[in-house]
Structure 1
């Protein structure tokens, strides 16, 4: 019998590495084969790399290329059929699909993308189950969400902040300063949302800063929110591991951004609850007070965690997104001389006729500034502030969606940036800013209105939609009425994690000689 040579058991690092690489390669090939030929969604077209690995979509989101990537897919594959964008997700690129996905009571379970905890403790926006969402929304329905009650309750307080903003921008104009216009209007939106939430604004406009870095830190967190939601392995395994998951999530020990908001919500709730015990609440209710008063039933209030989570909901969902809308619309207007000239003519005509107050009221905007409203709709169409993957889970028995059968358990979504550029509806110039399209006939305008996905639709339509609309219809016409903006740098519209913001829109405010016919309101 001969001796066994050590070479018979060669375990050098090179051979081990080769074996590992070979195993990984085989696993990847097996994954690709399954996703492309065996998976229930294999019959739908889509790029092999994205339809085989959810990591691809996560990386595209982090690289801020998601809108461009989906537009590329829509041009490559067309919009008549859904496009597979991940192993388990179909994107419906046609505007006709919106009502089928988001108005169906059978498709009201959200994708797990929203259940990661990246946006803090669970609240209305991150509730996945449709029935639970309905109960929670009903419990919060005591707040004045529709435009009528909002005008009555909040418009006079919005007026004060509008006039403060005008004053501060006037100071910048006097000094000839170049400012980041997109950041200034985002700070205004943060003040509005904090005022509605806590009863008084953070002071961003007054102090000319992003107080506590709320906007900055919100934006910093979007990359992680998009990555963890889109990368299924990370979402379903890493984030559900208590130690690792907790390490990635915001903490109330943070002194800025989301962590600070959580701390502030906890502090404000505790103070208000103590005050309410000592004396019944008097005066105008803010969202904090509505959360404390919310009930699932007469004897079933929100839990302490739900109260604190929802107090920050408006700021999370509405501050920077509304700021994005304000900034994008201003950039479109001030970089389009024909649009600005027509808009100025409309405002001047209404001014001379005595139709506009100081500051302009919501009803006056709606009644006397139709071209301005068209500019708002067009800006929101092209630059939706939250063009996210609002995916729904198909019931286990499957569902017919816009004429296409989708197997059960799969995720289906639309995408505002894509559907709001649908050439079948908006024409060959769908990528261009042309507000006139909204004034070319009531039927056409109604069709486009029905296909606007800016605020979502159906049972989960944005809770703060009318708050945002009230802001847009008050601040923007007042700014255009009072200022020119010399655009120094247009900046860019950025989408990361499915949420947009404007970066680097720089300009110099120049005061205009406004008319003397403006009716002044008493701002007290």
Structure 2
């Protein structure tokens, strides 16, 4: 007869039994057991979590896709996760309204309060996006209403680089990746809160917003990939409260969340008391958030408003800064490309086609090669090389890229791998070649544009992608126009859990004559 004295022996035996049973199920009886996969990725989600934790995920998945023949359309990279490495799968996964339910990561609370980005059900997301979307996210609105404000930051950034070049006669290198990230953070705080936080003016990472965000990525990368960690650890509200940022933090994401909370309360009070604005005369994205209404015509909840304005800064600052740094590095490290860019800018300037600073539409119309460099840099170094997971909910499953996927499975792709798909980009898919975006073949250019996965696509495409393009089309041509750069350290494109940044990208800066 069993008694309490047997527990020390029974508990380890029980855990061992459950562990072995789960392993055998993942190997032989799981709904995805027939899909090709390395042995260790079949066993558990832990191997992929460790690969992500050690900053190797994009390169690992790309190399993994090359190990299988082109006929392999889906690879099992975790017990319940299928990875589609070809661009031909993107439309089926991300444009289908029936595949718009996000994976389990987004419901854990690891991303903070539920926001537009972390809403799981497709219908809930559709309703919230309709509430928060609108004409103020369009290119035309940005050009007409917000571009002059961004111009002021571009001018300040140019002045900062000029001062640095003049005050560093010994040739001191500048961390260009960090500086561009600070510029992007100032743009987002300006657009959301009405005033920049002063990253450029003070020449520093204000409240360690960028540094703290990057420091949080190891935890996020592990949680994003390890199912057991999410189910056993992050499911606990107590544990989340201990390891996630807090409102009383003096720096980082916790401080940002507290500022979002204060800003919403302050702006609502001003509206209730009908106080005049500060004279700026331009509405910011906090205003539009407070104006948002749900399907019943009711304002969003206070928590939804706070989560949204915080998300806008988190999603738009460091990622756009990473894109800016990567694009500039690609241009500077390719002498032929740099010469073409400089000649194109010089020709446009001699013809009187460029304002000071350069306008978005001027870059689009008169600097086509520079635009091609931006698109090519984003293709090779996407700022968010995430595994954008979707759950298959259709009864009986569905077909993606010619592969039948059973109900309940998660499917994903990632911008880094599909951006190097030889079926889409040819045998030179891994090379930086801006010319692929140019030429007279309109059908081919349309295919490339349709396959762009940098800002996701479909119903959940990044809401602020036009803001990111606005920054790229303005600040990059302007600084190449005004300065010469010598690369001291090319640094490295680093990924942590689906978010990338540039580490150690250092240059010497000189004013052009």
TM, length-normalised to structure 2: 0.94
| 5+ residue gaps, structure 2 | none
Match of 1:359 in 2: 357
Partners in 1 of 2:399 and 2:200 — Cα distance?
49
Structure whose alpha-carbon radius of gyration is higher: 1
Match of 1:124 in 2: 116
Superposed, 1:41-80 pairs within 5 Å as 41-80=32-71
Structure-2 change in CA distance of 1:235 and 1:143 (3 Å): farther
Deviation of 1:344 after TM superposition, in Å, equals 0.6
User: Does residue 144 of the first structure (1) align with residue 136 of the second (2)?
Assistant: yes
Deviation of 1:61 after TM superposition, in Å, equals 0.8
Match of 1:190 among 181, 185, 189: 185
Q: Does the CA-based 8 Å contact 1:116-1:229 persist in structure 2? A: no
Match of 1:327 in 2: 325
Deviation of 1:20 after TM superposition, in Å, equals 8.1
Match of 1:344 in 2: 342
Partners in 2 of 1:507 and 1:287 — Cα distance?
34
Match of 1:456 in 2: 456
Partners in 2 of 1:226 and 1:386 — Cα distance?
12
Partners in 2 of 1:285 and 1:339 — Cα distance?
39
| 5+ residue gaps, structure 1 | 1-10, 514-524
User: Does residue 108 of the first structure (1) align with residue 100 of the second (2)?
Assistant: yes
Structure-2 change in CA distance of 1:281 and 1:396 (3 Å): farther
Partners in 1 of 2:144 and 2:63 — Cα distance?
45
Deviation of 1:118 after TM superposition, in Å, equals 2.3
Q: Does the CA-based 8 Å contact 1:117-1:249 persist in structure 2? A: no
Partners in 1 of 2:296 and 2:347 — Cα distance?
53
Q: Secondary structure at 2:24's aligned position in 1? A: helix
Q: Does the CA-based 8 Å contact 1:65-1:495 persist in structure 2? A: yes
Partners in 2 of 1:485 and 1:299 — Cα distance?
53
Q: Does the CA-based 8 Å contact 1:79-1:93 persist in structure 2? A: no
Partners in 2 of 1:29 and 1:274 — Cα distance?
59
Partners in 2 of 1:79 and 1:470 — Cα distance?
37
Match of 1:234 among 229, 234, 240: 229
Partners in 2 of 1:244 and 1:78 — Cα distance?
44
Q: Does the CA-based 8 Å contact 1:227-1:497 persist in structure 2? A: yes
Deviation of 1:135 after TM superposition, in Å, equals 0.6
1:116-170 CA-partner distances (Å, limit 9, x unpaired) = 2222211100111111111111111246001001111100001110010000001
Structure-2 change in CA distance of 1:297 and 1:20 (3 Å): closer
Partners in 2 of 1:147 and 1:405 — Cα distance?
39
Deviation of 1:313 after TM superposition, in Å, equals 1.5
> 324-333 or 107-116, which moves further after superposition?
107-116
Q: Secondary structure at 1:312's aligned position in 2? A: helix
User: Does residue 424 of the first structure (1) align with residue 392 of the second (2)?
Assistant: no
Match of 1:400 in 2: 399
Q: Does the CA-based 8 Å contact 2:133-2:463 persist in structure 1? A: no
Q: Does the CA-based 8 Å contact 1:196-1:286 persist in structure 2? A: yes
Partners in 2 of 1:280 and 1:106 — Cα distance?
46
Partners in 1 of 2:296 and 2:191 — Cα distance?
25
1:233-275 CA-partner distances (Å, limit 9, x unpaired) = 1212321222223222221011111100111011111111111
Q: Does the CA-based 8 Å contact 2:116-2:125 persist in structure 1? A: yes
Deviation of 1:24 after TM superposition, in Å, equals 6.1
1:465-486 CA-partner distances (Å, limit 9, x unpaired) = 0000000000000011111111
Partners in 2 of 1:279 and 1:486 — Cα distance?
53
Partners in 1 of 2:379 and 2:100 — Cα distance?
24
User: Does residue 203 of the first structure (1) align with residue 194 of the second (2)?
Assistant: no
Match of 2:443 in 1: 443
1:400-419 CA-partner distances (Å, limit 9, x unpaired) = 11211111111000111000
Aligned residue pairs total 501
Q: Does the CA-based 8 Å contact 1:116-1:228 persist in structure 2? A: no
Structure-2 change in CA distance of 1:142 and 1:442 (3 Å): closer
Partners in 2 of 1:241 and 1:257 — Cα distance?
23
User: Does residue 272 of the first structure (1) align with residue 267 of the second (2)?
Assistant: yes
Superposed, 1:292-311 pairs within 5 Å as 292-297=290-295, 299-311=297-309
